[in-house]
Chain A
Amino acid sequence: MNWARKDLLGLEELSKEEIELILTTAESFKEVSSREIKKVPALRGKTVVNLFYEPSTRTRVSFEVAAKRLSADVINIATETSSVKKGETLIDTGKNIEALKADIIVIRHNYSGAAAMLARHVNLNVVNAGDGWHEHPTQALLDIFTLKEKLGRIEGLNVSIVGDIAHSRVARSNIWGLTKLGAKVTVCAPKILIPLGIEKMGARVTVDIDEALEKADAVNVLRMQFERDQNDAFPNQLEYFKQFGITQERLAKVKKDIIVMHPGPINRGIEIASEVADGRHSVILEQVTNGIAVRMAVLFLVAQANEPSL
């Protein structure tokens, strides 16, 4: 299996084999992070630009740590303090970064498709760090990596994704990735937060949280994105916690080794109870650690691909 893609834009277009190659490569990078000298020279002399149009701390820091452990130089551009404020377009910004002779752009943007558009206009490697409601491929890859590490396989697992599915790029990337690897995915949310046609991606839909948890080997809990609730249509926080919150009581009734994941930041007492977030089912902090290995693997693979993807 050879990696030939210049960019990582989403999991929808990847094959099962490509996803597995990223996961295997990430395993060796995890070993690197466990050493006293947590750095290898694989991307020495390369420049990685983190271009973030949305506020983000954990993803940006994770990419920054990943690039630095590969010996790349990292430049962070937060658009609030850049020429974007003066009206520069995304493509112009991309071309300027290219003129600086950078090698990889990691982009986070509030518009779906922004990463793909940038990738079409520059010759640099583009890595999507989240575009609108579309995809967040490295988050799904680290979720899948963590699951595989914990349970030894993905094929045949029942994975439930609970929370704001409608606005979630994490949910979409997870559904693509998990179903390609042979897992059965269930999404669970208040009806208003389940997008039309999500079944076509291969996910089962339910509005009953206990039913979603019943057969699950793992549950991926998403944050309620109340800031996106412009029409005041979401249930209120207390109501949501009562109906959909992941609590010890709910977990006591299901598979005793169920794994609880969350992409962060967590809102204790809204989508997840504090005791669960800190409890034995939770792998939330392991996800953060694994995120570095997965992002190192992605940066390493795209940087190696000297042929543009076909």
Chain B
Amino acid sequence: MKEKTKILDKETIGRSVTRIAHEILEKNKGTKDLCLVGIRNRGVYIAARLAGLIKKIENEDVPAGVLDITFYRDDLDLITAKPVVRKTEIDFDITDKNIILVDDVLYTGRTIRAALDALADLGRPKSIQLAVLIDRGHRELPIRPDYVGKNIPTAANENIEVHLEETDGKDEVVLLEK
């Protein structure tokens, strides 16, 4: 795969995440019962940034947790690069909370399906909303995001990579082509 175009840079990613933070607060009328849950790996850092922004806007702390969905995947037999399982770290009760599930890229929807199963084992939230930095289309399940940083329609031979400062050294979203 070779890089075709850079879609977002540090500034545009920053603006998108800031807008999503405002949208979350608008839709939920503030921070009451609000919790953020980031999906490993990069969703965790986007969730942490959203928590920071919400704190800056409303001056309220919103709990942020980490979800590892490996045990809930339906494609473990299919993928060759097995993911290393890491801990789920949600140290608050999710029952009756409004959960904002956060991931970097929304694609087939299977990761989110697994995340919904994982959350169901941890409690019964009042609602679950989905925030993603990139929606690249090609859904295989009836799942749609509530908050989107940027919609990027992709072709089958293209791939999206999100790089974040916390994991990759710099903020950017690139489109790759076979």
Residues of A within 8 A of B (CB): 1-3, 21, 24-25, 27-29, 31-32, 35, 37, 39-42, 70, 300, 304, 306
Contact = CB atoms under 8 A, between A and B. Distances in A.
A35 B76 contact: no
A31 B77 contact: no
Nearest to A42: B71
A28 B70 CA distance: 10
Contacts of B70: 28, 42
A306 B78 CA distance: 9
Contacts of B81: 2
B129 interface: no
Residue from A1, A27, A40, A70 whose CB has the most chain B CB atoms within 10 Å: A40
Interface of B: 68, 70-72, 76-77, 81-82, 84-89, 117-118, 121-122
Contacts of A24: 84-86
A261 B77 CA distance: 37
Q: Which 7 A-B pairs have the closest CB atoms?
A: A40-B71, A42-B71, A37-B121, A28-B87, A28-B85, A25-B85, A31-B87
A300 to B, nearest CB: 8
Contact of A35 (B82, B89, B117, B121): B121
A25 B84 contact: yes
B88 A28 contact: yes
Residue from B85, B87, B118 whose CB has the most chain A CB atoms within 10 Å: B85
A206 B165 CA distance: 53
Contacts of A41: 71-72, 117
Given A24-B85, A25-B84, A304-B82, A32 B71 contact: yes
Contacts of A306: 77
A47 to B, nearest CB: 15
Contacts of A1: 84
Contacts of B117: 41
A70 B121 CA distance: 13
Nearest to B123: A36
A24 B84 CA distance: 8
A3 B85 contact: no
A273 B48 CA distance: 50
Nearest to B81: A2
Contacts of A70: 71
A41 B121 CA distance: 10
B67 to A, nearest CB: 11
Contacts of A39: 121
Given A2-B82, A25-B85, A304-B77, 11 more contacts: A21-B84, A24-B85, A27-B87, A28-B86, A28-B87, A37-B121, A39-B121, A41-B71, A41-B117, A42-B72, A304-B82
A203 to B, nearest CB: 31
B119 to A, nearest CB: 11
A279 B107 CA distance: 54
A31 B121 CA distance: 12
A29 B82 CA distance: 16
Contacts of A37: 121-122
Contacts of A21: 84
Contacts of B72: 40-42
Nearest to A24: B84
A3 B83 CA distance: 10
A41 B113 CA distance: 13
Contacts of A42: 70-72, 76
Contacts of B121: 35, 37, 39-40
A31 B88 contact: yes
